[in-house]
Amino acid sequence: MGKSDLLLELYSNLSTTGALAFSSKALVNKMLSFTDMEHAKLVVELGGGDGSITQGIIERLSPEGILLVFEINSSFCESMRKQFPQPNVRIICDSAENMDRYLAGKKADYIVSSLPFIILPKETTDEILSKSRDALSQKGKMVIMTYSFHLKRLFRRFFTHLEVKFTFRNLPPAFVMICH
Ligand SMILES: C[S@@+](CC[C@H](N)C(=O)[O-])C[C@H]1O[C@@H](n2cnc3c(N)ncnc32)[C@H](O)[C@@H]1O
């Protein structure tokens, strides 16, 4: 799938993608600057989409580090499977709310999310956030990009520590929330 096909897929599925553009390189760099991917053993990405954040994670992850990417859109999954054939990367075409089935008790060092929480059903959001909190290792962090500052209150229900950052270098400008 070329860049224009990926964008068309994004626009055609607004009710589940919740975005008009993919994350910029600047936003990806900002999100990942709050992680130490080089030393991570297990990383989970929620909402892989076109793979823009996936690419950033893979560039930093060691070959021993495992990356699980959850994505519900089968076209995006197919495209990412071609783009990322690395043996330590697994593209899972399933909802992030089922992450516990794939983690089987393993704890993640980082969970990186670009899910459109603002449009997801409340039960789905609660399930994903509660499972993410439970899936993190003791020193683990969840890094979330969002366009809505108000989601901070939602994330606070699940995490005791929350830091908010912002970048203009994305369309639209975005918040990065670091939760643990
Ligand atoms: C805003 S796009 C982000 C795409 C890309 N990661 C980026 O940063 O540009 C959100 C992605 O989350 C996916 N998504 C939505 N609900 C999901 C769910 N419950 N589980 C997994 N992926 C989901 C959508 O299909 C879409 O690809």
144: Cβ below 6 Å to ligand 1?
no
Amino acid at 80: M
For the chain, the domains span: 3-10+25-179
Determine contact, residues 48/76, Cβ cutoff 8 Å: yes
Q: What is the mean pLDDT of residues 65-73?
A: 98
Using the predicted structure, report yes or no on whether residue 159 has a pLDDT greater than 90.
yes
pLDDT recorded at residue 3: 87
* Ligand 1 nearest atom to the CA of residue 18, by list position: 1
Is the backbone peptide bond immediately before 172 cis, with ω within 30 degrees of 0?
A: yes
Task: Name the closest-CA residue to atom 11, ligand 1.
Answer: 47
Separation between Cα atoms, residue 53 and residue 57, nearest integer Å: 6
pLDDT tens by residue, 119-135: 999 999 999 999 999 99
Pairing of strands 162-167, 108-113: unpaired
What CATH number has the domain spanning 3-10+25-179? Answer: 3.40.50.150
Q: How confident is the model at residue 26 (pLDDT cuts 50, 70, 90)?
A: very high
In sign, the C-alpha dihedral spanning 31, 9, 21, 149 is negative
pLDDT recorded at residue 38: 97
Separation between Cα atoms, residue 112 and residue 33, nearest integer Å: 12
Using the predicted structure, report yes or no on whether residue 65 has a pLDDT greater than 90.
yes
pLDDT recorded at residue 76: 97
Separation between Cα atoms, residue 138 and residue 135, nearest integer Å: 9
pLDDT recorded at residue 19: 87
Of 175, 176, 138, nearest in space to 160 by CA: 138
Centre of ligand 1 to C-alpha 18, Å, is 8
Task: Name the closest-CA residue to atom 9, ligand 1.
Answer: 22
52: Cβ below 6 Å to ligand 1?
yes
